[in-house]
Amino acid sequence: MKTITKISLLICFLASGIVVNAQYIPKKRLTSDIRAGINLAEMDIKGANMYKEVKLGVNLGVNINYKFLGNMQFQTGFLITKKGLKKHINTLDRQPVVTVEYDEHNNTTGNYIQMPFNLGYELYTSRLFAFNINAGAYIAYGYKGKGTYAIRRTTTNTYEDEPLIERSEGEYESFTPERWKRLDYGLNANIGFVYDIYSFCVSYEYGLYNISRTNPELRNRNMSAAIGFRF
């Protein structure tokens, strides 16, 4: 009997909390956030993921949220985001007489204009604090990008005192008919919080499109965090 009484009291407490929280649901169906943050970008390199490294980038944009059914919302917007590929290839070929060490650093930037198309849910737990989660797809266009490379090839011969060292370095454009495609699309998801006019979100993007015009295939991967202001 005591257990039933406790459960009944708990149900009444939760029900009263839901009624109180219902007062905190904003009247505005349409909201927007101006955001800025950082990216931890990398790419899926087909057959060569052991060489990739995390590339630091930035993002800046605005998202629009429209509540169409209770707390359910549609989210879109515009984002300028800097992603790309950073990799370090280091191989050692040992032969009976000759040993060749190959060392290559690549750092390629892709600047994109990006639009998300997400469905989500946002719940206000007080007058000032809200929690949201959104997921869907994105489409992006690469408008600018550059890359650098540095290569060192060291050949050691057991019959020679000094190794032979060959170096080369240079720059290149990212989006060219010989390198990367400008179009990109994929899936994305984010989880965030709102406090008064301030917002914070963490997002992940999973590119589905092979952006490389040559081998190996490359697909964008990106984790980001951003802070913003809601209006």
- How confident is the prediction for the chain on average, in pLDDT? 90
- With respect to residue 80, please indicate whether it lies within any of the assigned structural domains: yes
- With respect to residue 20, please indicate whether it lies within any of the assigned structural domains: no
The model's pTM is 0.84
Q: Angle at the Cα of 170 (from 48 to 106), degrees rounded to 5? A: 20
CATH code assigned at 191: 2.40.160.20
- With respect to residue 115, please indicate whether it lies within any of the assigned structural domains: yes
When pLDDT is cut at 50, 70 and 90, the band that residue 25 belongs to is low
Q: How many domains does the chain have?
A: 1
Question: For residue 43, what are the domain limits?
Answer: 29-95+104-144+177-230
When pLDDT is cut at 50, 70 and 90, the band that residue 188 belongs to is very high
Backbone angles phi, psi at 109, to 5 degrees: -105, 140
- With respect to residue 16, please indicate whether it lies within any of the assigned structural domains: no
- With respect to residue 79, please indicate whether it lies within any of the assigned structural domains: yes
- With respect to residue 133, please indicate whether it lies within any of the assigned structural domains: yes
Backbone angles phi, psi at 2, to 5 degrees: -60, -40
Residue 15 clears pLDDT 60, i.e. is over it: no
Residue with tokens 């998202």: 63
Residue 201 clears pLDDT 50, i.e. is over it: yes
Q: Give me the percent of the chain exceeding a pLDDT of 70.
A: 88
Looking at residue 17, its pLDDT comes to 43
- With respect to residue 89, please indicate whether it lies within any of the assigned structural domains: yes
- With respect to residue 172, please indicate whether it lies within any of the assigned structural domains: no
Cβ atoms of residues 128 and 193 within 8 Å? no
Our measurement of the distance from residue 230's CA atom to the centroid of its chain's CA atoms, rounded to an integer in Å, reads 21
The string of pLDDT tens digits covering residues 107-147 is 999 999 999 999 999 999 998 999 999 999 999 999 999 99
